[in-house]
Structure 1
Amino acid sequence: MSPPLAPRATALEDWLQGPIEAHVEQEAQDAWSTGESVSGREETPDRAAAPGDDPAPAPAGLPERPRARPAFRAELHGLRAVALGLVAVYHIWLGRVSGGVDVFLFLSAFFLTGTFVRRLESGRPLGVPRYWLHTFKRLLPPAAVTILLVLLGTGLLLPASAWPSIMQQAVASAAYVENLVLVQLQVDYQARDAGAASPLQHFWSLSVQGQAFVLWPLLFALALPLARRGRGVRRPLTVLMLVIGAASLAWSVHSTAIQQPVAYFDTLARLWEFAAGSLLALALPAIDRLTGAARPEDGTAPRLRSLRALSGWAGIAGLLAVGIVLDVSSQFPGWIAVVPLIAAGAVVVAGHSGTRWGADRLLSTRPAAFVGDISYALYLVHWPMLVLWLHVSGHQRAGLLDGLVLLTAAVLLAWGLTRLVDAPIRRSAWLEARPWRALAAVGLSVALVAGTTGTWWGLLQREAAAEPAATAAPAEPTDEVLTEAPAQILPQGWELGSQWPNLPESCAGDLAPSTTFRHVPCQQLLPDGTAHAGLLVVVGSSHARQYIPAILPWAQEHDLQVVNLHMDSCDFVPGTEESRYCSGYNDYVLSYLDAVQPDVVLTSSTRTVPDSAEETTPEGMVTAVQELTSRGIDVISARDTPRWTEDEYACAEAVIGADGTPVEADAACGADASAKLAPENPAAGLTPAEGGGSLTLLDLSAQICPEGRCSPVLGDTYVYMDDDHLTKRFTQLALAPAATAVLDGPTGPLSVRERAEGGS
């Protein structure tokens, strides 16, 4: 074992830093440790302390306590290689969940727990701040280099529509909150890439581990008073881990059943896997004593050798079975994740079998050690390389040959990242000697990612400010599909976030709802207190909201205040059974309308189906029109827009990005209107309440699908921003004139002034 990096410092520095551990002990602290895997055992009278051990003196008045002895576990280093190999192979060729990530969570807790329990039992300071600095100083620089390379590859190889999300995820990955961002993308209706593979998506597991690395040492600090009084810490820590594990597992099972895509990235749903690793670390010394475990360096053979060998192989077989025999992609991280943890635990408990045919012999070979050495870097680089390659090649899955080339390239890049970045920083005595140096390495890593991302985004914003083309009049008519690509088709991909039709003000004053309602951000056009001649309220789903830019010119011409009270995915259909998500929305809308007494309400009145000409009037729409018009409200009933099975913007962007033309994009992505819409507007049969407000059917299908063809690009404008919403630019430029003509026509809603004058 290498000598300590530096002598013990002052009491204040010792609290901040903790002991500057011997190299092998530092390497024990998580599953990404490179080159070392250790576990602790109690010293016995006939066993000398390991070289480099420098036990701190026991507190005054207490007897010297035995020092836990770190022992190299070559088979656990090889287990890292197996887990990483499963992750890479399953990602590249099978597209399935392997359980390898769960093994890393388990092993991280196992090693971390062993480290801190040894400190507690030997009377040394925990040095939690030092642990945090040491851990993130080691993990962040290779991660930052990987993130910067991904940003470079994103700019060169991925479409502009992917840039904003990857920029956001780059910063989140460096801050160890990528899993939280992915949870938000799963539940965010407006997230274009919620289901798309990001080259940084794999940082979710590193984020979970990073969050646990912050929390777990604080749990061990709870046992510090017991250690100082010379009392055992394993039993109370075991109870604590059992409580945390049980609570987390219960939440994991529940959350997986009702929201599995969210639960998959949820730290709280994963903590039980950390608790399981900690429980094994706490129990392993007793297990080893009962089963007669031994290490190769002890010079004695372990008991139960054949059983140990079989147990090790059973663990390896269990790991291989997850994902092949059991397709657990839609079941993790619920109870089924117990399978890879039990398998990994079997390998840990089996330990050194003392046989020539045991799994530990294979796991202790040099090839396994090599993969274990580069496991962290290989995890970092293999996924972005796969995502970028699949995008460039246009394949959905790597084949045998290109997959082998990809894996080989990833191994070489991981080896280089380990040798040039990971190992020098990890082994730097200079960085370990002073806390501020480690803190500087952490801060610099985060600053490089944040600075690069911020600079890139700033340049894009400067370009947009210099050329405000996104709102400029189209250079080509928006009812034509061009045979030659214009110089620029707008909006650009990185501008899609601004294409949602938000109103500039939050509802205030008399227009503020008396109560809030989930997922309903009330917005208004004019500031509170601004004089206006009438009120228009938008209700229903985002398919009603998307028409706001189309009706704004008419509303402004008639001096109307506009309020957006939409709720994504929820039609306004009072009197019908609502989904759990939409439950209560209809009553909330009616209550608000009764309070503010609007003159006009805009809502969508039909619903289309992706990849089908099926278009219907939702159940309850007749009631909705009657409810509104009976209150004297004029209703604008907007026909739904075509929906698609794929992202129309991304489809057309790919064609245009490959030097294609709008005509080619139309051929690849468009469809005839007869395949997307009903022959006649299904809302034509709706009628207003007798003696009540008017009903205006707003059918802009002729502008959305001119000449019977629904194209993704008209003129120099993208029609769709995703698979079923129009871009704000297209709505403003192509639909607003037609909407104004309808609303000002003979069937249009009554203006406020006409109503005041008794007009009809």
Structure 2
Amino acid sequence: MATPTRTRPQPQPEIGTGHRPDLLGLAALAVLPLLLAGAGLDVVPGGPFGWDVLFVLAGFLVTALLLGEWHRAGQVTLTAFYARCARRLLPTAVLVLAASVLLVLTCLPRSRWPEAGWDLLAAGLGVLNWRLAAQDAGVPVAPDATTGLLAQHWALGVGAQFLVFWPVLLAGVAVWAVRRDGRDPRRPLLYAAGLLVAGSLGWAVLGASPGAPAFFGTHTRAWEPALGAGLALLALRPVALPRWVAAVLGWGGLVAIAVAVLAFRPGPGAAGSAALLPALGAAAVILSRTGRTGTAGGGRPVEILASRPVRAAGQLCYGLYLWYWPLLAAAHARFGELPAVAGLAVLGGAVLLAALTRRHVETPLRTGLPAWSPAETLRIAALVPAAVMVGGLLLQLGVWPPRQVPPPSGTAAPVTVSPSPSAPAPARGAAVLRGSPSNDPAGAPVARVRSISPKPADAGADLPEVYRHNCFSGGPDGPARACVYGDRNSAFTVALAGDSHAASWVPALRGVAEAKGWRLITYLRPGCPFLDLPVADAATGRPDAACAKWYANVRAELTGPERPALLLTTGHRYPPSAGGRTLTGRAAENALVEGMRRTWAGLVADRVRTVVLRDTPVPGIDVPKCVSKNPERLTRCAPSRRTALAAGAGTAQAEAVRRLDDVPLIDLNGAICPTSRCAPVIGGVLVYRDARHLTASYAQSLSPRLGSALERVVGQSAP
């Protein structure tokens, strides 16, 4: 397929010749934060913004190659172009896919082989980004024990899809422009790039595809490579930039990228407005060296990016990007959570593999096969999807149960021995997790489970007993209504005060009290935190007087003559009120932390030993409803751990106790959401009964862990 034209672009040496060594440096600058974030270093919270730089750079280079061929031959032969790209990109990708299969077989449990097989198939077909979008996956910042070994291929999928449709679109627009009136097609091509940027960016910013589809979707990412393509088209009619302007563009672009990487963390809008800063920064760097002669200035920034060591790093970027993620993910799966030093060591191995791959795979296959025609190259390249399909199917076959061979004739059939009534029941819920549950594969999201208890339809009724016993305070006067559990005559009393999140811990705490012979008394009021803090009424925005009265009444009970030996408290995040208005943002966070610190320090001063239970992760989705809709794709119901933790009050609680040496914090969230995504079912037990409350069944399975934590806190003060 060729694009006939009656005009050729004016000579522009840097278009299509590859004489832009600074772009290798820009690629290195984009990949470095991805690597550091993958190794678990928090110095680059915005590491994923490196993808935005790479997308802009890819759009520029792809379009520059097309325009270079147009300049040389007066037409674009798409088969030759795609063959050239396949020869450059496929060898390393195929090698890493094959190596990833070996890593799956050696480092991942068999239960994860089917999911890895589907990832392999999607990666080989260049559509892994859509698979992750369908799974509602979180932003793949750093691998852990549950992360797919090929998650980094999502960006290659976006690039591959752009690589397929963009040249065809360019060719179609050029043919239309030339055949219509024989005019120069450059302006229509620029219009096409501009429309693609506007449409895709508008879709991303307006949130037409929220969450994972917005982050991973090609439709919300296409504006970035289209922006780079527009820069390549503009370079056909370059404007001579004064050296100082080029320097300002170069430095400004580098600063924009650095600010995005070092100061911001990608969130739901990471494909839209949040990506503008790094994407425009990359565009400024590219534009800074686009002059009328192709060598116009750029100043010191371009010289730094084009320096020998930075350029050498850029030459390894493609292979390094492909190698680093599966190695880190496999190491996490095999050895558990890795310290930063170990992560950096794994990155060192990835650098070595990237160098070897470039020397012995990329370069020979790109330059040493001159006899292959474009058609032959594409035919061979077409075998790649078939090969990965076979690999994916083999991983699926690996988990099939072995075929039962009948016994030889004349022998007795094998006897199945049923467990005796005294055999211990299998572990359920949090009991299946190891003592240190962080990144425990048993708590990782899986597509399907054998059974779920309670059933999703019954989850709303799986409530703590305090609901049946009417233990909640109500009314405008906020009475200190109490319920008592455990040994009512015990000399050691534990009190629990808080809202419905505190109530969720009653099954676990009641189990501890009964096992240790403690007396447990509860003070609960839904919608009210047990804090010396005015919280906003949801209807009026003014301080909730009923919550304030309830807090005062309960505090009077706790500090009275029969004060408990231990007070446990927790609660959800509530908006503080000040000056008749609801606080938001940083002001709200500061007020919440200060209110917590003031409350707990005051209780300790009144000789009430206080322990804070860290607030549970808040999934933000109705988990039982999601599980009901996706019984074969439970991974769709596994929100990001980072997001779930941020939605609760846990971060504020941790900050509040940081300066309170006498107020310990018990954090059991590792046994509620052990991995980077919160599994909806752990050990056959549904974790949540709605969008933010634990089921009583799962809370009860946390009782041994809560008991151990309380033993460490209580010491010898309890009988």
TM-score by length of 2: 0.55
Query: Is 2:134 the partner of 1:184?
Result: yes
Provide the residue aligned with 1:340 in structure 2. 278
2:346 to 396, 400, 406: 406
Q: Whose RCO is larger (CA < 8 A, sep 6+)?
A: 2
State whether residues 160 and 492 of structure 1, in contact with CA within 8 Å, keep that contact through their aligned partners in structure 2: no
Q: Could you tell me whether the CA contact under 8 Å between 2:116 and 2:395 is conserved in 1?
A: no
Which AA in structure 2 matches 1:100? G
Q: CA deviation at 1:124?
A: 3.3
2:183 alignment partner, SS class: coil
1:349 is matched with which residue?
Answer: 287
Alignment of 1:165-564 (within 5 A): 165-186=115-136, 196-222=146-172, 223-227=174-178, 230-255=182-207, 259-286=210-237, 288-291=238-241, 304-351=242-289, 358-395=300-337, 398-399=339-340, 401-430=341-370, 432-440=372-380, 442-461=381-400, 463=402, 475=419, 480=424, 499=449, 546=455
Structure 2 equivalent of residue 620 of structure 1? none
Structure 1 residue matching 2:402: 3-state secondary structure? helix
Q: Which amino acid in 1 is paired with 2:153?
A: F
Whether 1:159 and 2:109 are equivalent positions in the alignment is: yes
Measured in 2, the distance between the counterparts of 1:495 and 1:323 equals: 29
Alpha-carbon contact 1:78-1:363 (below 8 Å) kept = yes
Distance change >3 Å, CA 231–CA 385, structure 1 → 2? same
Per-residue deviation at 1:723? Answer: 5.3
- Alpha-carbon deviations, 1:133-175, whole Å to 9, x = none? 4323432231122122222222222233322211110111011
Q: How far is 1:355 from its partner? A: 7.1
Matches of 1:96 and 1:476, distance apart in 2: 56
Whether the aligned pair in 2 keeps the contact of 1:163 and 1:494 (CA below 8 Å) is no
Question: SS at 2:88's partner residue?
Answer: helix
Looking at structure 2, the residues matched to 121 and 129 of structure 1 have their Cα atoms a distance apart, in angstroms, of 17
Please name the residue that 2:11 is paired with.
43
Residues 1:127 and 1:473: Cα distance change in structure 2 (over 3 Å): farther
Q: State the Cα deviation string for residues 289-309 of structure 1 (Å, max 9, x = none).
A: 342xxxxxxxxxxxx223323
What is the RMSD computed on CA atoms of the aligned residues? 4.4
Deviation at 1:424, TM superposition (A): 1.9
- Distance, in Å, in 2 between the alignment partners of 1:310 and 1:391 is 46
Q: Residues 719, 305 of structure 1: CA spacing in aligned structure 2 closer, same or farther, 3 A cutoff? A: closer
CA gap of 1:613–1:323, structure 2 versus 1, over 3 A, is farther
State the distance in 2 between where 1:328 and 1:494 align.
23
Displacement of 1:195 after TM fit? 11
* CA distance in 2: counterparts of 1:215 and 1:498, whole angstroms: 36
Q: Which residue among 17, 31, 34 is the counterpart of 1:87?
A: 34
Answer whether contact 1:43 1:69 (CA < 8 A) is retained. Answer: no
State, as a whole percentage, how many aligned pairs show the same letter: 23
Q: How far apart in 1 are the matches of 2:199 and 2:119?
A: 29
Q: Contact between 2:196 and 2:222, CA under 8 Å: does it hold in 1?
A: yes
Return closer, same or farther for 1:133/1:392 CA change in 2, 3 Å cut-off: same
The one-letter code matched in structure 1 to 2:349 is A
Q: Please give the per-residue CA displacement for 1:666-715, whole angstroms capped at 9, x wherever unaligned.
A: xxxx9688489999xxxxxxxxxxxxxxxxxxxxxxxxxxxxxxx99xxx
Paired position in structure 2 for 1:129: 79
CA separation in 2, counterparts of 1:671 and 1:42? Answer: 76
Residue in 1 that maps onto 2:700: none
Secondary structure of the residue aligned to 1:324 is helix
AA in 2 matched with 1:132? Y
1:73 paired to 2:13:
no
Instruction: Return the alpha-carbon distance in structure 2 between the equivalents of residues 358 and 371 of structure 1.
Output: 19
For residue 212 of structure 1, report the CA deviation from its aligned partner: 0.9
Q: Deviations over 1:344-387 (max 9, x none)?
A: 11111111887796011111122112111111110001111222
Query: Residue type of the partner of 1:344?
Result: A
For residue 279 of structure 1, report the CA deviation from its aligned partner: 1.5
Q: Distance in 2 between matches of 1:479 and 1:251?
A: 58
| CA–CA distance in structure 2, aligned partners of residues 444 and 493 of structure 1 | 37
CA distance in 1, matches of 2:137, 2:92: 30
The answer to whether the aligner puts 1:720 opposite 2:683 as a matched pair is yes
Specify the SS of the correspondent of 1:99.
helix
1:500 Cα deviation (Å)?
5.4
Over 3 Å counting, the alpha-carbon distance change for 1:311 and 1:144 in structure 2 is same
The answer (yes or no) to whether the contact 2:84–2:374 under 8 Å persists in 1 is: no
Q: 1:371 to 1:104 in 2, by over 3 A?
A: same
Which residue of 1 is the match for residue 97 of structure 2? 147
C-alpha deviation, 1:73, in angstroms = 0.8
Q: Which moved more, 1:449-458 or 1:312-321?
A: 449-458
Gaps of 5+ in 2: 407-415, 433-440, 470-500, 502-506, 515-519, 522-670, 673-680, 690-719
Residue 58 of structure 2: aligned partner = 108
- Distance in 2, matches of 1:724 and 1:145, equals 40
What is aligned with 1:28? none
Contact 2:249 2:284 in 1 (8 A): yes
Quick one: distance in 1 between partners of 2:445 and 2:220? 35
1:280 CA displacement? 1.4
Structure 1 residue identity aligned to 2:33:
L
The Cα of 1:482 is off from its aligned counterpart by: 7.7
Alignment length, in residue pairs?
457
Distance 2:134 2:288 in 1: 41
Q: Quick one: distance in 2 between partners of 1:43 and 1:362?
A: 27
Q: 1:538 corresponds to which residue?
A: none
The 1:543–1:431 alpha-carbon spacing in structure 2 relative to 1, beyond 3 Å, is farther
Gaps of 5+ in 1: 1-14, 20-39, 51-67, 292-303, 502-541, 547-567, 572-602, 618-644, 646-669, 680-710, 713-717, 727-760
1: CA distance, partners of 2:276 / 2:25:
21
CA contact (8 A) 2:250 2:298 kept: no
* Pair member with larger Rg: 1
TM-score by length of 1: 0.53
**Counterpart Cα distance in 1 of 2:151 and 2:342:** 22
Aligned partner of 1:621 in structure 2 is none
Is the aligned partner of 1:606 residue 2:461? Answer: yes
